Amino acid sequence: MKKYKLITYAMAEYAYASHLRDNLKHEGEIIYPHEASSKLLQDGSWLLLTITGERLGTVSPNGTVRLK
Protein backbone atom coordinates (compact mmCIF):
# COMPACT_ATOMS: atom_id res chain seq x y z
CA MET A 1 0.00 0.00 0.00
CA LYS A 2 1.35 3.40 -1.01
CA LYS A 3 1.73 5.97 1.76
CA TYR A 4 0.59 9.52 1.26
CA LYS A 5 0.97 12.79 3.12
CA LEU A 6 -2.04 13.53 5.31
CA ILE A 7 -4.08 16.59 4.40
CA THR A 8 -6.94 17.60 6.66
CA TYR A 9 -10.34 18.76 5.48
CA ALA A 10 -9.55 22.29 6.68
CA MET A 11 -6.34 22.32 4.62
CA ALA A 12 -8.24 21.08 1.55
CA GLU A 13 -10.97 23.69 1.98
CA TYR A 14 -8.37 26.45 2.33
CA ALA A 15 -6.51 25.26 -0.79
CA TYR A 16 -9.78 25.20 -2.75
CA ALA A 17 -10.85 28.71 -1.68
CA SER A 18 -7.34 30.12 -2.23
CA HIS A 19 -7.21 28.60 -5.71
CA LEU A 20 -10.50 30.25 -6.65
CA ARG A 21 -9.42 33.66 -5.34
CA ASP A 22 -5.73 33.71 -6.26
CA ASN A 23 -5.51 31.70 -9.48
CA LEU A 24 -8.95 32.20 -11.01
CA LYS A 25 -9.46 35.75 -9.63
CA HIS A 26 -12.92 34.78 -8.33
CA GLU A 27 -14.75 37.72 -6.82
CA GLY A 28 -17.84 37.58 -4.66
CA GLU A 29 -19.22 34.74 -2.63
CA ILE A 30 -17.54 31.33 -2.86
CA ILE A 31 -19.59 28.16 -2.63
CA TYR A 32 -17.85 26.29 0.16
CA PRO A 33 -17.80 22.51 0.48
CA HIS A 34 -19.63 20.75 3.30
CA GLU A 35 -17.28 18.82 5.59
CA ALA A 36 -19.66 15.97 6.42
CA SER A 37 -20.50 15.43 2.72
CA SER A 38 -16.91 15.64 1.45
CA LYS A 39 -14.83 12.45 1.27
CA LEU A 40 -11.24 11.51 1.93
CA LEU A 41 -10.20 9.24 -0.96
CA GLN A 42 -7.84 6.26 -0.81
CA ASP A 43 -5.00 8.22 -2.41
CA GLY A 44 -5.21 10.90 0.29
CA SER A 45 -7.08 13.44 -1.86
CA TRP A 46 -10.23 15.16 -0.69
CA LEU A 47 -13.34 15.08 -2.87
CA LEU A 48 -15.10 18.33 -1.98
CA LEU A 49 -18.89 18.24 -2.13
CA THR A 50 -21.65 20.69 -1.22
CA ILE A 51 -24.32 19.79 1.31
CA THR A 52 -26.51 18.70 -1.62
CA GLY A 53 -23.77 16.45 -3.03
CA GLU A 54 -22.65 18.71 -5.90
CA ARG A 55 -19.00 18.05 -6.76
CA LEU A 56 -16.84 21.15 -6.42
CA GLY A 57 -13.46 19.56 -7.05
CA THR A 58 -10.61 17.58 -5.53
CA VAL A 59 -7.53 18.58 -3.59
CA SER A 60 -4.53 16.25 -3.65
CA PRO A 61 -2.22 15.72 -0.66
CA ASN A 62 0.33 18.10 -2.22
CA GLY A 63 -2.32 20.84 -2.53
CA THR A 64 -3.14 20.56 -6.24
CA VAL A 65 -6.74 21.68 -6.85
CA ARG A 66 -8.82 20.23 -9.68
CA LEU A 67 -12.26 21.74 -10.20
CA LYS A 68 -15.31 19.73 -11.24
- Total count of residues recorded for the chain: 68
Helix (H, G, I), strand (E, B) or coil at 20: helix
How do residues 18-68 score in pLDDT, each as one tens digit? 999 988 888 899 999 999 999 999 999 999 999 999 999 999 999 999 998
Is 44:33 a contact under the CB 8 Å cutoff? Answer: no
Examine the pLDDT at 1 and tell me if it is beyond 60.
no
Within 8 A by CB and 6+ apart from 6, the residues are: 44, 61
